[in-house]
């Protein structure tokens, strides 16, 4: 391995330059404002956590964790997601605050990229967690808020897919009985390998009705009618219950006026293994990965000894930002070029402009080598040059 | 107006077979389409845009979402392990992955060397067999490696077995059957569900009917 060049950064690490930073901040603020107005309170957690606690509770693959050792030799991780740290906070520092809790975060998370560049190893997530609430209303609230955030940010063309881990598990268990055989099929579904799933199903010694039920599962994607199609697969009692819940959820979303871009998709699996109920992902036109994702995780809190149902979602800022093409940098930038004789005058002008909310740069003329080049960066330049007093001071 | 779907296609033999399939599935593709040397080909009547990539790179384009769908060999899927949906077995370009070596080779070594274009597949396979091997990545003419002593065995795709035979190698173990697969980007799968479902269904009917005839 050769010594890195001075311009090099570790794989997947990125600099954020002014133009992008501003765009990111503006959109992030819109998102945060919306979340705050729904009563979600922002919190921050440390960048480093113990591997044994948060590292293991998080659903990120172990090989994707950045690990280091502390002074005592304990393994630390750079937090790979925010849900596990928040579960830790809720069960410790906020142990005495009664459920339900509405918390939000806006933080970078870290996931090592082994394969190649093109994907960041550090990226920002803005999200919410609604903890201690197990009803359909909580699910509707999370989905409606996610929809609202996407809409308010100005993304027009988007789809939100909603799936349910429980329905699939119940259907497989109902048909296959023992968990081992179901586990094989679940693995194919998780790997998104439908070819493998289909040929495996066809090899199983099942009645043709059951084979059809299993194959039909792959087609359960689309509008509200999908719930009827799912019901036609004669799920067991628990499966029927899931469908009833989803029907209720859809009605609630209609009340929120957030049902328009919702599709149901029972083939949706998340790589986050802690999800226990509904899972959902948001997609925007032209972006090849989900801009937002979330789901219900009713077992995570018990790992931290404060058992509670919970639901949450996170916006992936890097993909989210990609959905905006326009640069939309409309703020006017002004500059005062002054010489020392007129510094006081310049200061006064700058102060009044800043009070008005403008962006104004003060630049001593003697500090700039190429004035023409420098001037190009601004929409307007005020010259306060020379000893001659233009106006009274 | 429907959105145009971008389809990543492997250059070469699979491309011709795949274009054939698409035509049979009712997608109007311009004539002499296969002979073009362009890397991006539009077929507006079919609502498709094709990008021509190296076979090994097709899943990369699809995973990153610059192509909505693609056609990739199962060998490539096994090697690359990309996060894409593998929705349909097109049953074209049939072959298989196998281990091969010299007929009188010494297979008792502690850590034999394996040459392959598929280092992930090779190391995964031997690990599953509980064998400790060292994998050497080559980019082509894999059969050369055991002949001149670079490796003890090779892992490669076999279609007729002619190349092996002509070079005096024998097939030792079969790893997996390979055919071309239709793959889909996870986001596109939901954003363009209608168009992609239609394409998949048309292709599925075609592939299944063919299976019945044979």
| pLDDT higher than threshold 80 for residue A83 | yes
Q: Is the peptide bond before A6 cis (omega within 30 degrees of 0)?
A: no
Q: Do B188 and A222 touch (CB under 8 A)?
A: no
B83 contacts in A (CB within 8 Å)? 192
Q: If you average pLDDT over residues A244-268, what whole number do you get?
A: 94
Q: Where residue A148 falls among pLDDT bands split at 50, 70, 90?
A: very high
Instruction: State percent of chain B over pLDDT 70.
Output: 96
Q: Which of A194, A195, A285 is facing B191, going by the closest CB pair?
A: A285
Q: Which of 147-166 (B) contact A at CB < 8 A? A: none
Q: For residues A231 and A242, what is the distance between their CA atoms, to the nearest angstrom?
A: 10
Q: If you average pLDDT over residues A73-82, what whole number do you get?
A: 94
| pLDDT higher than threshold 70 for residue A114 | no
B181 Cβ under 8 Å from any chain A Cβ: yes
Q: Do A287 and B193 touch (CB under 8 A)?
A: no
Token pair listed for A238: 């628990």
Q: Do A290 and B187 touch (CB under 8 A)?
A: yes
Q: For residues A39 and B66, what is the distance between their CA atoms, to the nearest angstrom?
A: 38
| pLDDT higher than threshold 90 for residue B150 | yes
Q: Where residue B1 falls among pLDDT bands split at 50, 70, 90?
A: very low
Q: Which of B66, B83, B190 is facing A159, going by the closest CB pair?
A: B190
| pLDDT higher than threshold 90 for residue A181 | no
Average pLDDT along chain A:
90
Whether the Cβ atoms of residue A249 and residue A139 lie closer than 8 Å to each other: yes
Stretch among A34-38, A56-60, B8-12, B80-84 having the lowest mean pLDDT? A56-60
Say what the pLDDT of residue B5 is: 94
Q: Do B190 and A288 touch (CB under 8 A)?
A: no
Q: Do B89 and A199 touch (CB under 8 A)?
A: yes
Q: Which of 83-102 (B) contact A at CB < 8 A? A: 83-89
B88 contacts in A (CB within 8 Å)? 194-195
Minimal CA separation from A48 to chain B, in Å: 28
**Segments in chain B forming alpha helices (H):** 13-24, 58-63, 74-80, 119-128, 144-147, 162-166, 186-191, 193-213
Residues in A lying within 8 Å of B, measured between beta carbons: 118, 159, 161, 192-196, 198-199, 221-222, 263, 265, 281, 283-285, 287-290
Cα Rg of chain A, angstroms: 27
Q: Do B87 and A290 touch (CB under 8 A)?
A: no
Residue at token pair 């297979």: B107
Whether the Cβ atoms of residue B11 and residue B37 lie closer than 8 Å to each other: no
A222 contacts in B (CB within 8 Å)? 193
Q: For residues A161 and A46, what is the distance between their CA atoms, to the nearest angstrom?
A: 32
| pLDDT higher than threshold 70 for residue A254 | yes
Q: What angle (nearest 5°) sits at the alpha carbon of residue A130, between those of residues A263 and A192? A: 40
Q: For residues B62 and B82, what is the distance between their CA atoms, to the nearest angstrom?
A: 9
B170 Cβ under 8 Å from any chain A Cβ: no
| pLDDT higher than threshold 50 for residue B214 | no
Closest CA to B46 of B71, B72, B65, B19: B19
B201 Cβ under 8 Å from any chain A Cβ: no
pLDDT in tens, A265-313: 998 877 667 889 999 999 998 898 999 999 999 999 999 999 999 999 9
Closest CA to A190 of A167, A168, A221: A168
Q: If you average pLDDT over residues A120-135, what whole number do you get?
A: 95
pTM of the model: 0.87
Closest CA to A282 of A294, A270, A292: A292
Minimal CA separation from B98 to chain A, in Å: 19
Instruction: State percent of chain A over pLDDT 90.
Output: 68
A262-278 burial, b for 16+ CB within 10 Å, e for fewer? Answer: bbbbbbbbbebebbbbb
| pLDDT higher than threshold 60 for residue A344 | yes
pLDDT in tens, B37-88: 889 999 988 999 999 999 999 999 999 999 999 999 999 999 999 999 999 9
Q: For residues A141 and A133, what is the distance between their CA atoms, to the nearest angstrom?
A: 11
Q: For residues A112 and A63, what is the distance between their CA atoms, to the nearest angstrom?
A: 8
A213-249 burial, b for 16+ CB within 10 Å, e for fewer? Answer: bbeebbebbeeeebbeebeebebeeebeebbebbeeb
Q: Do A195 and B89 touch (CB under 8 A)?
A: yes
Q: Which of A195, A198, A288 is facing B66, going by the closest CB pair?
A: A288
Give the chain B residue nearest A116 (alpha carbons).
B60
Q: Where residue A389 falls among pLDDT bands split at 50, 70, 90?
A: low
Q: Where residue B14 falls among pLDDT bands split at 50, 70, 90?
A: confident
Residue A102 three-state SS: strand
B65 Cβ under 8 Å from any chain A Cβ: yes
């Amino acid at each position: 391995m050769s010594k890195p060049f001075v311009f090099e950064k570790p794989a997947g690490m990125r600099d954020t330059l002014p133009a992008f930073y501003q765009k990111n901040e503006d959109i992030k603020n819109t998102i945060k404002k919306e979340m705050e107005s729904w009563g979600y309170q922002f919190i921050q957690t440390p960048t480093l956590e113990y591997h044994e606690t948060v590292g293991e509770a998080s659903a990120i693959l172990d090989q994707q964790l950045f690990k280091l050792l502390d002074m005592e030799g304990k393994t630390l991780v750079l937090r790979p997601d925010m849900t596990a740290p928040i579960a830790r906070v809720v069960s410790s520092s906020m142990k005495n605050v009664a459920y339900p809790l509405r918390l939000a975060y806006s933080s970078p998370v870290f996931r090592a990229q082994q394969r190649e560049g093109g994907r960041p190893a550090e990226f920002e997530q803005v999200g919410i967690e609604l903890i201690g609430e197990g009803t359909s209303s909580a699910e509707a609230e999370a989905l409606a808020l996610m929809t609202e955030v996407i809409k308010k940010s100005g993304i027009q063309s988007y789809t939100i897919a909603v799936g349910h881990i429980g329905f699939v598990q119940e259907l497989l268990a109902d048909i296959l009985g023992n968990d081992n055989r179901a586990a094989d099929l679940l693995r194919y579904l998780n790997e998104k390998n439908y070819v493998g799933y289909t040929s495996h199903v066809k090899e199983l010694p099942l009645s043709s009705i059951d084979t059809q039920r299993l194959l039909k599962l792959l087609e359960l994607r689309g509008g509200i009618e999908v719930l009827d199609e799912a019901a036609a697969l004669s799920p067991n009692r628990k499966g029927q219950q899931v469908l009833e819940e989803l029907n209720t959820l859809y009605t609630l979303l209609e009340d929120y006026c957030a049902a328009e871009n919702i599709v149901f998709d029972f083939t949706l699996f998340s790589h986050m293994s802690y999800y226990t109920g509904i899972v959902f992902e948001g997609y925007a036109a032209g972006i090849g990965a989900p801009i937002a994702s979330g789901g219900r995780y009713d077992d995570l809190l018990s790992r931290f000894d404060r058992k509670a149902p919970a639901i949450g979602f996170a916006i992936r800022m890097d993909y989210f930002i990609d959905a905006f093409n326009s640069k939309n940098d409309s703020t006017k930038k002004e500059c005062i070029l002054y010489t020392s004789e007129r510094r006081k005058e310049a200061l006064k002008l700058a102060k009044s402009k800043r009070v008005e909310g403008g962006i104004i740069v003060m630049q001593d003329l003697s500090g700039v080598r190429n004035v023409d080049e420098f001037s190009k960066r601004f929409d307007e330049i005020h010259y306060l040059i020379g000893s001659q007093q233009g106006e009274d001071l | 107006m429907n959105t145009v779907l971008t389809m990543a296609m492997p250059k070469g033999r699979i491309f011709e077979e795949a274009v054939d399939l698409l035509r049979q599935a009712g997608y109007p593709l311009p004539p002499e389409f296969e002979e073009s040397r362009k890397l991006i080909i539009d077929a507006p009547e079919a609502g498709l845009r094709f990008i021509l990539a190296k076979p090994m790179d097709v899943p990369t384009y699809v995973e990153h979402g610059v192509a909505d769908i693609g056609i990739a060999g199962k060998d490539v899927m096994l090697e690359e392990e990309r996060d894409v949906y593998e929705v349909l077995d097109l049953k074209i370009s049939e072959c298989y992955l196998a281990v091969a070596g010299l007929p009188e080779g010494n297979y008792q070594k502690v850590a034999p060397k394996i040459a392959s274009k598929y280092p992930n597949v090779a190391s995964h396979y031997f690990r599953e067999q509980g064998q400790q091997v060292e994998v050497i990545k080559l980019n082509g003419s894999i059969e050369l490696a055991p002949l001149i002593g670079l490796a003890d065995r090779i892992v490669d795709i076999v279609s007729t077995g002619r190349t092996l035979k002509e070079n005096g190698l024998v097939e030792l173990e079969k790893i997996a059957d390979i055919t071309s697969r239709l793959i889909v980007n996870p986001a596109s799968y939901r954003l363009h569900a209608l168009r992609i479902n239609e394409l998949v269904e048309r292709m599925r009917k075609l592939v299944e009917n063919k299976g019945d005839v044979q």
